[in-house]
Amino acid sequence: MANFNYEWLVLTALIVHALSATSYVESAVDPSEIETCVRHLDERCGKEILLRVFFNDANPSVDCCMEITEMGKACHEKIVSLTLSSSPLYQKNSKAILGRSQSTWNHCLSTVRSSSPHNTSCPPVSNLTCAKQIVSRIFRSQGELSNDCCGVLVDIGKDCHDKLVGAHIASAKLRSNKTAILSGSTSVWNWCTYIAQSLPSVKACGKRIDNDCGREIGIGIFHGKGQVTKQCCAKLVTMGLKCHDILVKTNLARPQFVKSSNVTLNRSTKIWKKCISYI
């Protein structure tokens, strides 16, 4: 286990963060090329892929497969080659590592292709950022969907949304988590359709209060932290109760806030009454 911890530090330093120390590694790969490649990978996906290739861990998740295929096979092979050259331990197991590298690439390519719109008669989600947001939220319950990405999701339609989620479940062998995933999928769809319908009002109201005060009020309402200053209270009251309610209820429709809606609404009412008292 001690060796694992040490090697993990090497992996993280070399690949995830692309530190300048890579220039001292004897390899045919130019470290500057690696820096360009790793910009396509976030830290979590870099770890998933490297754990799979070098430590025979589970296959990467669907969203990480999207990242590795977007990065391209050439970059994938360069990263593996550079990491392989960094340690005698890896070099002793090079045959197995290179085999897992190829199988990981094949798995991810198959995963992305099998869940492709071309296999579901659906239009493509051409915005990769939105595709990753949607997948991460549905399959990992992580992150948030931007309003723009909700618009992208609604544009492809409920039928295609369901087909694409089903294709991901099948391709990534996630049948054991199917119930939870489908529940998350429904929550995301409901949230996005709500956003699409209310977005004009949300945008209009959002323009009536600055970002700093909006953040301060939001933290107080949704997280129960901090105090709303008199200056921000004045801006809230000027914005008006109607806009206040629209912004609160829109955010309450987010999957992560639904369960705490009663508590949040109580805080919203208290903050509004407190702000009114200052006027």
The structure tokens listed for 167 are: 């294709």
pTM value is 0.49
Please indicate, yes or no, if residue 203 is contained in any of the structural domains: no
3-state secondary structure of 213: helix
96 shares a domain with 135: no
58 shares a domain with 149: no
145 shares a domain with 55: no
Domain boundary (75, 98, 114) is at 114
Q: What local confidence, expressed as pLDDT, does residue 9 receive?
A: 37
125 shares a domain with 102: no
Q: What local confidence, expressed as pLDDT, does residue 265 receive?
A: 94
Tell me if 195 sits within 8 A of 253, measured CB to CB.
Answer: yes
Q: What local confidence, expressed as pLDDT, does residue 1 receive?
A: 35
Q: What is the pLDDT of residues 175-210, one digit of tens each?
A: 677 888 888 899 889 888 888 888 788 888 988 999
Please indicate, yes or no, if residue 135 is contained in any of the structural domains: yes
Domain boundary (136, 166, 197) is at 197
d(CA 239, CA 222): 19
| DSSP labels, 172-188 | TT-GGGHHHHHHHHHHH
92 shares a domain with 14: yes
Q: Which amino acid is at 181?
A: I
Instruction: Indicate whether 19 pLDDT > 70.
Output: no
122 shares a domain with 100: no
Please indicate, yes or no, if residue 83 is contained in any of the structural domains: yes
Q: How many domains does the chain have?
A: 3
Residue 171 pLDDT grade (very low, low, confident, very high; cuts 50, 70, 90): low
Q: What local confidence, expressed as pLDDT, does residue 228 receive?
A: 95
d(CA 193, CA 141): 18
d(CA 176, CA 72): 30
Residue-number span of the structural domain to which 268 is assigned: 208-278
22 shares a domain with 104: yes
Q: What local confidence, expressed as pLDDT, does residue 140 receive?
A: 79
164 shares a domain with 61: no
d(CA 50, CA 61): 13
Helices (H), 24-177: 31-38, 43-55, 62-71, 73-84, 88-92, 94-114, 128-140, 147-156, 158-171
Domain boundary (114, 130, 154) is at 114
